[in-house]
Amino acid sequence: DRERVEKTPGTHDDPLRLIQSLPGVSMTPEYSPTAGSLSIRGALPGESRVLFDGVELPYLYHFQQYASVIHTRMLDRLSVYPSGFGVTYGESIGGVVAVSSRSPDPERVHGGMNINAIMAGGYVQAPAGDSGLSASGRRSFMDAFESGNDQYTLWPAFWDYLGRYEWSGPAGGRVAVTSIGAGDVYGRYAGDTEALDQVEQSENPEVVYDRGFHGLIAQHSLTRGRLATESVVGLVRDDWTVGLSTADQSRVEQALTLRNSSAITLWKEHSLHLGAETRLEWLDRQAATDRSWPELTLEAPLLARGVAVDERLSTALVGTWVEPRLVFGDLRLQPGLRLSGDTGTGEWVPEPRLIGRA
């Protein structure tokens, strides 16, 4: 939970460092295109799902400065499932990281500012009648002092923001609207400057990497007696561009998520969870190049393979599930069944799953 993240030594007030200290999670290089990515149970970076308030985000951590895109004070819970996650989360090659944002304080105004050698930012929370407001923003500032060096032609910079409005109604109802966004940009030479001679260096082009996303999430939750329901609508847009003097790659992905889940308390600690979700995706990607650039494998996979592409794709992913959660002393059982459909393949696939923990 948030208190543990804040008080665990060595995390530098960042939940990423706490996650990467857990068993089964590997660290990635700090100053590289995969910096901040998670490698869970041997899966490649990017093969684990990242969920924020039930909506999948393109990435949870900045690529260059080893900081998460969420201010710690805006965090409520951070869950990591390296294996054994239920049918609620669907399929994932690696693991699942589920982040829940914090409800604004409905009684008092408070906030704070923080600054270190890399970035500066702050947060504020305030009541507004029966509602609550909270906001945070951060930005790196080293690019104000360094324009470039032998490694970077454009000094790495990043930013992020998060805003939340929450209204608590009668009979246990709650409505929340959250906006979140982050961005990263840097420039470097395509080849390793130390491994090239003067002639090769003169032909070593500059690569500019620029990626950012924006998301808007609306939630409605209601608890009445033994029934708790939550509905989520989320729209996320991810812009990813990589440019050279003679080649470029761009990728724009938009995803609309509709999700409804319910939990019914049967008796004591036994409960029944069921729900459904739909994810609509629109992808527009382009790549123009006359050769392959293996130096850009992580930043621009299409340019790395020398593939020229101009395509627009759309697909719909649908899933519905049911999962009893049973508790017998120290033994917990989760037998679940998920039915998933994909307009890309036109198939419906049953996914049974059984999880046990003692």
Concatenated DSSP letters of 262-284: EEEEEETTEEEEEEEEEEEEEEE
pLDDT of 116: 84
> In the structure encoding, which two tokens stand for residue 165, read together?
């409005």
* Cα 199 to Cα 285: distance, rounded to the nearest angstrom: 34
pLDDT of 213: 96
CA distances from 162 to 90, 102, 315 (A): 27, 11, 28
pLDDT of 12: 61
pLDDT of 75: 85
Residue 334, Cα to own-chain centre: how many angstroms? 26
pLDDT of 66: 63
pLDDT of 43: 77
In a structure prediction context, what are the per-residue pLDDT tens digits for the chain, which is 358 residues long?
A: 777 766 766 566 666 667 777 777 776 655 555 555 677 887 776 678 889 999 999 887 786 556 788 888 888 888 888 877 889 988 887 888 888 888 888 788 999 998 888 889 999 999 987 789 999 999 999 888 887 677 788 888 999 999 999 998 777 789 999 999 999 998 888 877 666 666 666 677 889 999 999 999 999 999 988 999 999 999 999 999 999 988 999 999 999 999 999 999 998 889 999 999 999 999 999 999 988 988 888 788 899 999 999 999 999 999 999 999 999 999 999 999 999 999 988 889 999 999 998 8
3-state secondary structure of 1: coil
What lies within 8 Å, CB to CB, of 249 at 6+ separation is: 241, 242, 243, 285, 286, 287, 288, 289, 300, 302, 303
* Cα 291 to Cα 294: distance, rounded to the nearest angstrom: 10
pLDDT of 346: 87
Global pTM reads 0.88
Find, among 288, 285, 308, the residue nearest to 244 by Cα: 288
φ/ψ of 142, rounded to 5, equals -65, -25
